[in-house]
Structure 1
């Protein structure tokens, strides 16, 4: 167990800092989640539900003009019916910052607990907030935006390449690159076989998942991939049992791809 000169458990300190990082970055995601959550083919949102301009991509999903009283009684009553009474008062038009901050903080804390002080932790902490954002958007509208998936794959490989130059890292950049190509190719085959069941956004997201899982080797890649499909199958089965979906109902697979990669990285980090 590592300790600082002040007697503080260094591993615990790393987890706390990671959780604070996750909370801070997660609190900035609601506005981006709202703006990206549009059906495929439509432009990103630039207005709140009452047609006031939404500026910027980071921050709370809350409209200052709506909160300032520039709304009719009917509009506020409609918001109360959909989002609850507090939402109308606070002019919230998307996820609350607290919920996304909590989720991202837990993800980052778990990654820090598994990875410890190894340099790849910085990569996981940088990739975690966009991963949470992608999961939220896909759950809402079954879409994985290109401005998030493609840069994320490039960033993952570039950051892991830099990490491979640092001492005490526990992975291999070569297998990260090959893992990205292998998993991306595998998902591409699934997309070509059944486009209705696998979106092309999942193919692009698989590049990132393959990179982070491949960093810890092929067994981790297979474990994370299997976990994603297993979680997706459980979710689909639960919907069938609850009669909320049929056998041909399409479900968003991105969140399960991300969750599988997350679990695989945890396992790979603990085993490294």
Structure 2
């Protein structure tokens, strides 16, 4: 590995660690059941403001949500690995901005089986727009039309799955798939298929295991978001590595 790639990976990892420490506050506020308003106060009763930061009350110092260790570690590792696989290319900035959002979405879905529009829709629109900018810069290794087609393809595939079996999948998964498909489509159909399978197959195995061990019934729902996010990340790594010189 070249020295500049090591520097990029270390820098991205440090950025990821910092970004990950800002996730817990938003994770706490957004982890509510469908139809409920976002949390505006901590369990201690003090009002909460803003969206980024640690899950500790500014007034009394009490902890009201998840710690920063796992979000910081997950975001740092994902950002460092992404930089190492993709290299110093314009699209790397897009991936580094998307990783903390993906970690946040995975955390919210795992907590309350929900993928909020306030995250999934900006992720999809922002990824598409920023990749359009990246495509105009020297050194870009992907295709913006391919990204748009990937978003439409993966989003459309999950829409069909949702329509076929609404009880087993939420519409938030469809919106998330559109954004993730946009990222995967940037590197072509191979990355798209790889990322889609890397998310769907482990989720199917996990769901089957839950039923076999009777930890969930046939009509139960599971958090699909973490699998989709992880699979898309692996697909981006594979796509970025494949196009490196």
With 229-238 and 258-267 compared, the bigger mean Cα shift is at 229-238
1:30 aligned to which of 21, 24, 39: 24
Is 1:192 aligned to 2:163, yes or no?
A: yes
Q: Residue 268 of structure 1 aligns with which residue?
A: 239
Unaligned runs of 5+ in 2: none
2:175 aligned to which of 201, 204, 223: 204
With 223-232 and 238-247 compared, the bigger mean Cα shift is at 238-247
Is 1:142 aligned to 2:113, yes or no?
A: yes
Q: Could you list the per-position Cα deviations for residues 175-202 of structure 1 after superposition, in whole angstroms to 9, with x for gaps in the alignment? A: 1001111111111111111111111111
Q: Could you list the per-position Cα deviations for residues 116-162 of structure 1 after superposition, in whole angstroms to 9, with x for gaps in the alignment? A: 11221111001100010000000000111111111111100111011
CA distance in 2, matches of 1:214, 1:41: 33
Deviation at 1:241, TM superposition (A): 4.6
Q: Residue 160 of structure 1 aligns with which residue?
A: 131
Is 1:52 aligned to 2:8, yes or no?
A: no
CA distance in 1, matches of 2:59, 2:15: 30
CA distance in 1, matches of 2:69, 2:176: 26
Q: Residue 80 of structure 1 aligns with which residue?
A: none
Deviation at 1:66, TM superposition (A): 3.8
Query: How many pairs does the alignment contain?
Result: 243
Q: Secondary structure at the match of 2:240?
A: helix
Q: Secondary structure at the match of 1:65?
A: coil
CA distance in 2, matches of 1:122, 1:238: 37
Deviation at 1:221, TM superposition (A): 0.6
CA distance in 2, matches of 1:64, 1:58: 13
Deviation at 1:50, TM superposition (A): 2.6
Q: Secondary structure at the match of 2:142?
A: coil
Q: Which structure's CA Rg is the greater one?
A: 1
Q: Secondary structure at the match of 1:206?
A: helix
Deviation at 1:166, TM superposition (A): 1.0
- RMSD, aligned α-carbons: 1.3
Q: Residue 230 of structure 2 aligns with which residue?
A: 259
CA distance in 1, matches of 2:74, 2:228: 17
The question of whether the paired residues in 1 share the 8 Å contact of 2:120 and 2:172 is answered with yes
Deviation at 1:42, TM superposition (A): 0.6
Q: Secondary structure at the match of 1:50?
A: coil
The question of whether the paired residues in 1 share the 8 Å contact of 2:167 and 2:219 is answered with no
Deviation at 1:61, TM superposition (A): 0.5
CA distance in 2, matches of 1:227, 1:55: 37
